[in-house]
Structure 1
Amino acid sequence: MQKRIKNHLRTVLLFISLAVITLSFSTSTFAKQKNGKSASYRTVTEIHDWGAAITKVIVDLGRPVPKGSITKDTFRVHVVRSDNRLKTPFLEEGDRTVTKAYVSDKKGNPAVRTGKYAVLEMKIGPNVSLGSPLNYDEEGTGLNAWIDNNYTITQQKDIATNAGTLSGLVIDTYEGGTRKLVDDFKTGKGTYNNVTLSYASYTPAKDKTKNPLIIWLHGGGEGGRDATIPLSANKAVNFATEEIQSYFNGAYVLTPQAPTKWMDGFTGKADGTSIYEESLMSLIKDYVSKNPDIDPNRIYIGGASNGGYMTMLMIRDYPKYFAAAFPVCEGLNDTLITDTEIKKIKDTPTWFVTAKNDTTLPPTINTIPTYDRLVGAKADNVHLTLFNNVHDTTGLYQNADGTPYQYDGHWSWIYVYNNKVETTINGKTMSIMEWMAAQKLNK
């Protein structure tokens, strides 16, 4: 009798043990399946001096985890970059360096106690190509474009939670992303003279006074049909920052986009004409008419390289329209400007910006001789800032010898976006934004 009871008890205990193991295995499997299914990621893109960079991913963990339970070693972040415009779309792949990690809310704000999300901040820099969401198709279209950046985020260390251990996550479901400042702009299109131009625009907060308009014309690599590219391939979004906006007490920003390049002329490239000039002026006037809050006496126009070329054409052919111009590393050869045109240009307050080591559009054949001719023609409000080179001004990026990181000498627009261009006017040191905000027509 006792033997039968012992055997029965042994059977019951064995059954219970198997049930516990099975339940434990099932619970673990369910947790992984549930988390694997629900876990996803979003990207955060910010615009820096060299262009756009994916600075962080926000991972949806599928369940709350305590503050402090995530470190920069908890996850491995792998990315594959590809550009579908190319015959061979694959560009590169590799692991991003995680520099900081923390538990957060859905928007990426650090959690107070617990959070369902993890923010993984990653290393960025002018030479960190794995972080770029854009690609410049140098051998094909000659244009920048947003590309595919497919991330796989693999958990490397367990995360302890109140509900048990979270482990084995492999996250590769993309749920969209945010582009800081870029998303504050609206995009649109307009057709004028059978030419369709895309554009992005920023509207300041409404107030009781009229606001000025800043027009920015992009460089040669930012043409096409996506008006967010001129904002993102370099740092044109900076015109919408609080710092720049403060000089104007709120300003509209308009960034038109050419389907190809502003320099495309009627007889050739950079021939002193542009097939887009009349359409561009029609777009500008149309935009101003649709926004009666814009002050017609304070419309400013500037652009870099290809856009600097177009800026010169606009103040040459519409000398009474713009309150000020700021051509940067501009590409209008001085030999294409007549003495009569110099007399027209001199009436528009103009500030030229370029660098001595610009080999793309050498200032010795474009900017400098034109500036000298304007001074000779008695232009009373013309300025030239000629930098020796273009280097990092943030202190974050350095060469091997510890000196500031050197950018291509053509990239003098970096100084303009960061308002690092200054001169002395009537004994007072003035930045380019401060100067521009002071210019006004008397229509």
Structure 2
Amino acid sequence: MMKRKAISTIFTLGLSAGLLASCGANESADQEDSAKQESVQQADAYAGVVKTSIYVKGYEGGPGVPKLIIELEDEVDSVDPSGWQVVTAGAERTVTDVYTSDENGDPQENSNFIAIDMETGFNDATFSVVGSPFTYNTTTSMNEWSPAYEVAIAAPSVTIEDETYSLSITEDAVNNRISPDTDLFNFRGSFTGTYVNPLTDLEEELTLSTAAYEPEDLSRGEANPLVIWLHGQGEGGTDPDIAILGNEVSALAKEEIQSNFKTDDVTGAYVLAVQTPTYWMDEGDGTNGNGSGISRYTEILMATIEDYVAAHPDVDTDRIYLGGCSNGGYMTMNMVIQYPEYFAAAYPVCEAYAYYEYERNSDGTYVKTNDEATGTSAFVKTEQPWFTEEKIQALKYLPIWFVQSADDPVVVPANFVLPTYQALVQAGAENAWLSYYETVEGTDSPGTTYLGHFSWIYLFNNQVTGVQDKAAIAAATDAETFGTEPNNAAGGGTAAATVGATTYANIFEWLNAQSK
């Protein structure tokens, strides 16, 4: 194997905002740090770096990059993990370990790859994971892959063919992505059809993108459940990876949740994620609505689901479960109202299907009021129910489990889930449940309290276990709490979901038991 030529004896990291230089310039720096910097400067720089890849993982707060993987032309004898400095997307990262690995970042000796593990936390100011590879587009209100993801690495000691080198890397790695979380969804597809636009009354061609988790073990089963997930407002587009990573949808394909689904001697369920190019609440004008209308994607979503089921004859058509968060929670409600006989159960999270109607212009678009002081606009609510008696009767026999946090500032519970759930309970819905939390507390970064809208975190963490008191909700007369008592400690409520003689430990065990 040919040894790489050393190209420099001065090691700097220009795009890390002078990290190394600032250490030497700081009069209060420890002598140890100064000595470390001197050793870095004296080491020859290795010239055989092939590329640097980012390891993308789904977290509670969105995608993060907890690992970098450097590919070298030569095999690495050893690597000293001390003294490494890393900046990703402008954020200085804390390195926790460095080691030789395979191309996917798993430890391996005698390798041409080096993996760098880094701490990954949540940034309250940006509502995103530190070093996220996503950029939020304020024009479209959607997440996108960042146009660039700059990585800067400074390393003092890597041994190659018995010689010690330093590493100095600055690279845009946005297109060098490794993501086992998205790889779990091994089926990718799309569905296209022509449908009448509900606002313009004209025919239009629509396409929905899909990704599915299809484990090989399920193929030996003859009747497998299908779990469908519909993303929120920020995850629209034409790349299902955005929908999988924007919320931690990959959790649905992992053992902790998959183990709840059982059919005879087969464990697991198919998971289908469907992505809209705009918003599920788009009623025909391409914008995000207010949940008191019928989505332009209603018919094509049904056709997409039917197409997937037809292509997978081992799917049990009596055990198809539909859920989603926020915009996807709206679409979940919209679909089960439009097709109440198709789904075995629904699990809407912070659902945005409005209880009341909202004022409209003559062209069918929503009336909005503008607040000049704050520069914000708002829809105008009426007193006319959108969740009508007809809809209540259509859903009262459908198994449904709602998840919501009381402090949600985006989908205010009193305008959405609380009156809706109360109406179902008062109508006699026996297999309808509500898990209602005080706040959204995370586990990835202990002590983190997320925006109250992020209640899907409890779902993906498999923490939805308790339910609210239906008798109290049915009897309540106030229009604020609707008889609820938010509860974090007991999984959203102090009772357990009990159907007949069976009590369920969590929402997924309950979901598995539902069948038409």
Mark yes or no: TM-score above 0.5. Answer: yes
Correspondence for 1:317: 338
Q: CA RMSD in A?
A: 2.4
Q: Which of these residues, 462, 465, 483, is aligned with residue 419 of structure 1?
A: 462
Contact 2:61–2:129 (CA under 8 A) maintained in structure 1: no
Match of 1:96 among 85, 93, 97: 93
Question: 1:104, CA displacement in angstroms?
Answer: 2.5
CA distance in 2, matches of 1:410, 1:55: 25
Residue 88 (structure 2) pairs with residue 79 (structure 1): yes
User: Does the residue aligned with 2:515 lie in a helix, a strand or coil?
Assistant: coil
Q: What is the CA distance between 1:271 and its match in structure 2? A: 2.4
| Identity across the alignment (%) | 37
Alignment of 1:240-389 (within 5 A): 240-248=253-261, 249-265=267-283, 269-334=290-355, 335-389=385-439
Q: Note closer, same or farther for the CA distance 1:344–1:72 as it changes in structure 2 (3 Å cut).
A: farther
Note the C-alpha offset of 1:353: 0.7
Instruction: Show structure 2 runs of 5+ residues with no match.
Output: 10-42, 196-204, 262-266, 356-384, 467-495
Secondary structure of the corresponding residue to residue 448 of structure 2: coil
Secondary structure of 1:279's aligned partner: helix
Q: Deviations over 1:174-230 (max 9, x none)?
A: 582211221121322111222111121111222233211111111111111112111
Q: Give runs of aligned pairs for residues 21-40 of structure 1, distance below 5 A.
A: 28-29=6-7, 35-40=46-51
Instruction: Provide Cα deviations, 1:65-112, integer angstroms capped at 9, x if missing partner.
Output: 334x32141x322334xxxxxxxxxxxx24322122122233323234
* Deviation of 1:129 (Å): 4.9
Cα pair distance change 1:338/1:118, threshold 3 Å: same
Does residue 214 in structure 1 map to residue 227 in structure 2?
A: yes
Q: Are the aligned partners of 1:72 and 1:99 in contact in 2 as well (CA < 8 Å)?
A: no
Question: What TM-score comes out, normalization by structure 2 length?
Answer: 0.71
Structure 1 unaligned runs (5+)? 1-25, 81-92, 399-403
Counterparts of 1:40 and 1:356, CA distance in 2: 47
Distance 2:249 2:5 in 1: 52
Higher deviation after alignment, 221-230 or 98-107: 98-107
Residue 46 of structure 1 aligns to which amino acid in structure 2?
K
CA contact (8 A) 1:266 1:273 kept: no
Alignment CA distance shift 1:39-1:215 (3 Å): same
Residue 80 of structure 2 is matched in structure 1 by 70
> Could you give the per-residue CA deviations for residues 249-270 of structure 1, whole angstroms, max 9, x where no partner exists?
2211111111111112258542
Contact residue 320 and residue 344 of structure 2 kept, 8 A:
yes
Change (3 A) 1:103 1:223: same
Decide whether aligned partners of structure 1 residues 358 and 111 sit closer, same or farther in structure 2, where only a CA change above 3 A counts: same
Distance of 2:306 and 2:268 partners within structure 1: 20
**8 Å CA contact 1:187, 1:228 repeated in 2:** no
Q: What's the counterpart of residue 19 of structure 1?
A: none
Q: State how far apart, in whole Å, the 2-side matches of 1:41 and 1:364 are.
A: 49
- Per-residue Cα deviation, 1:320-339 (whole angstroms, up to 9, x for no partner): 11000011111112221111
Residue 44 of structure 2 contacts residue 164 of structure 2 at CA under 8 Å; is this kept in 1? no
Q: Matches of 1:66 and 1:271 in 2, distance apart? A: 63
Deviation at 1:173, TM superposition (A): 7.2
Q: 2:445 corresponds to which letter in structure 1?
A: Y
Identify the residue that residue 238 of structure 1 maps to in structure 2. 251
Aligned partners of 1:321, 1:427: CA distance in 2, in Å? 24
- SS at 2:449 equivalent: coil
Q: Quick one: which amino acid aligns to residue 260 of structure 1?
A: T
Residue in 2 that maps onto 1:105:
102
Alignment partners' CA distance in 2, 1:129 and 1:240: 22
Judging by fraction of residues, say which structure has more helix: 1
- Aligned residue type for 1:66: D
Letter in 2 for 1:154: A
Q: Is the 8 A contact 1:101 1:120 kept in 2?
A: yes
Residue pairs, 1:23-172, within 5 angstroms: 28-29=6-7, 35-67=46-78, 69-73=79-83, 75-80=84-89, 93-112=90-109, 114-127=110-123, 129-137=129-137, 139-147=138-146, 148-155=148-155, 157-170=156-169, 172=171
For 1:18, the equivalent position in structure 2 comes to none
Q: Distance in 2 between matches of 1:202 and 1:160?
A: 41
* TM-score for the superposition, normalised by structure 1: 0.83
Q: What is the deviation of 1:62? A: 3.2
Secondary structure of the residue that 1:243 maps to in structure 2? Answer: helix
SS of corresponding position for 1:414: helix
